[in-house]
Amino acid sequence: MVRAAVLPAVGAPLEITDIVLPEPAPGQVRIALAAAGVCHSDLSLSNGTMRVPVPAVLGHEGAGTVLAVGEGVTHVAPGDGVVLNWAPSCGACFHCGIGEVWLCADALKGTANLHARTADGTGLHPGLNVAAFAEETVVAANCVLPAPDGIPLTDAALLGCAVLTGYGAIHHSAQVRQGESVVVFGIGGVGLAVLQAARIAGASRIIAVDVSPAKEELARQAGATDYVIASATTPREIRKLTGGQGADVAVECVGRPATIRAAWESTRRGGRTTVVGIGGKDQEVTFNALEIFHWGRSLTGCVYGNSDPARDLPALADHIRAGRFDLSMMVTERIGLDGIPAAFDNMIAGKGGRALVVF
């Protein structure tokens, strides 16, 4: 028996309860979690914005120690520290074949499986493959990556989603060049990672935008040179801060139509807007045909930072060990499993950075 946060049904409250985990089958790994980040995607799963089979154990951003491995697993062994990879690539589909592993057609195939049971025998799905909101989990071997040396596992948990996403949004999707200006909408866990990545990329002006005045100090610590309270006039304020032109790059980390539109309007003619935030399928963003031609801007979606975790984790580890990227500053609250519902409420209210479940 291990404790876990179970989503019994879409829209239902999380239940902190005991679950029964099997021993790892061939090709599987059992892990004792050190920590798990509370991501907005977990909230989106719980309220139905994103769909996965239920009942499920949520949590997809985590790190821990290998307890046991099934037959055929050779890249990790009991006692190894690992980072969970919620979107493993199959290596065989069209997108994997052209190097776009973040768009793998089978990345979430494992969510259909039953990986554990409740005490009364009800089968449980792994929310986004890895079921990190639990003291222990059993995952497919391709869902674990060796943890980088010299980084505490509680910090390394953030590498599994927020940091890879934020770093990749800057370096892979927007491809920010030294000296460019960047505006970041939404200063939660991912937004803080985007700010740090923009600083590493050599952005000359880094503007943070959020509804909360309380996040300014945190944003500046992450690398923001300017802080703007979100309002209907935000694009105009961004243009004032960038010589009347608008930012070279905007990164949207909220997933709301109004924010996506504001990010687009905040970029200069010919600028780039990258959308990281996840909105609902019934939420529409509109553009007229003339403005698309006139402004010459690009608008792109960004899945998992367009990252390849096997490639990007070593690069990120170098930045972390060198002190260029600070994982611990992103964590504004350390909680237990019982604190996840309150962490969801804080996200809805726009409070804080990353909440971290520590086991």
Query: Which residue type occupies 34?
Result: A
- Residue 9: pLDDT band (50, 70, 90) is very high
Can you tell me which residue has the tokens 């770093």?
Answer: 167
Residues with Cβ within 8 Å of residue 19, at least 6 apart in sequence: 1, 2, 3, 4, 6, 57, 116, 117, 118, 119, 124, 134
- Taking each continuous run of H as one helix and of E as one strand, the counts in the chain are 11, 18
Give the DSSP H/E element, type plus range, for residue 268.
Answer: strand 267-275
Q: What's the average model confidence in pLDDT over 316-332?
A: 96
∠ Cα 321 327 328 (to 5°): 115
Look up residue 75 and give its DSSP letter. S
- Residue 308: pLDDT band (50, 70, 90) is very high
Q: Residue 16's pLDDT is what?
A: 95
Give the DSSP H/E element, type plus range, for residue 66.
Answer: strand 61-69
Indicate the angle between helix axes 40-47 and 340-348, nearest 10 degrees.
100
Q: What's the average model confidence in pLDDT over 121-143?
A: 96
Nearest by Cα to 259 from 331, 210, 297, 194 = 210
One DSSP character per residue, 312-341 reads: HHHHHHHHHHTTSS-SGGGEEEEE-GGGHH
Q: Residue 52's pLDDT is what?
A: 85
User: How far are the Cα atoms of 25, 93, 137, 164, 321 from residue 84, in angstroms, in the given order?
Assistant: 18, 22, 10, 12, 20
Beta bridge partners of 252: 185, 275
| Average predicted confidence (pLDDT) for the chain | 96
Model confidence pLDDT, tens digit, residues 147-202: 999 999 999 999 999 999 999 999 999 999 999 999 999 999 999 999 999 999 99
Model confidence pLDDT, tens digit, residues 279-304: 888 999 999 999 999 999 999 999 99
Q: Would strands 28-38 and 136-140 be described as parallel, antiparallel, or unpaired?
A: antiparallel
Look up residue 22 and give its DSSP letter. P
In degrees rounded to 5, what are phi and psi of residue 91?
A: 80, 0
In degrees rounded to 5, what are phi and psi of residue 177?
A: -105, 155
The model's pTM is 0.95
In degrees rounded to 5, what are phi and psi of residue 106?
A: -110, 15
Nearest by Cα to 359 from 45, 62, 8, 20 = 62
Nearest by Cα to 250 from 183, 190, 306, 193 = 183
Measured in residues, the chain has a length of: 359
Model confidence pLDDT, tens digit, residues 327-353: 999 999 999 999 999 999 998 888 999
Look up residue 138 and give its DSSP letter. E
Model confidence pLDDT, tens digit, residues 38-94: 998 898 889 888 888 999 999 999 999 999 999 999 999 999 999 999 999 999 999
Model confidence pLDDT, tens digit, residues 238-257: 999 999 999 999 999 999 99
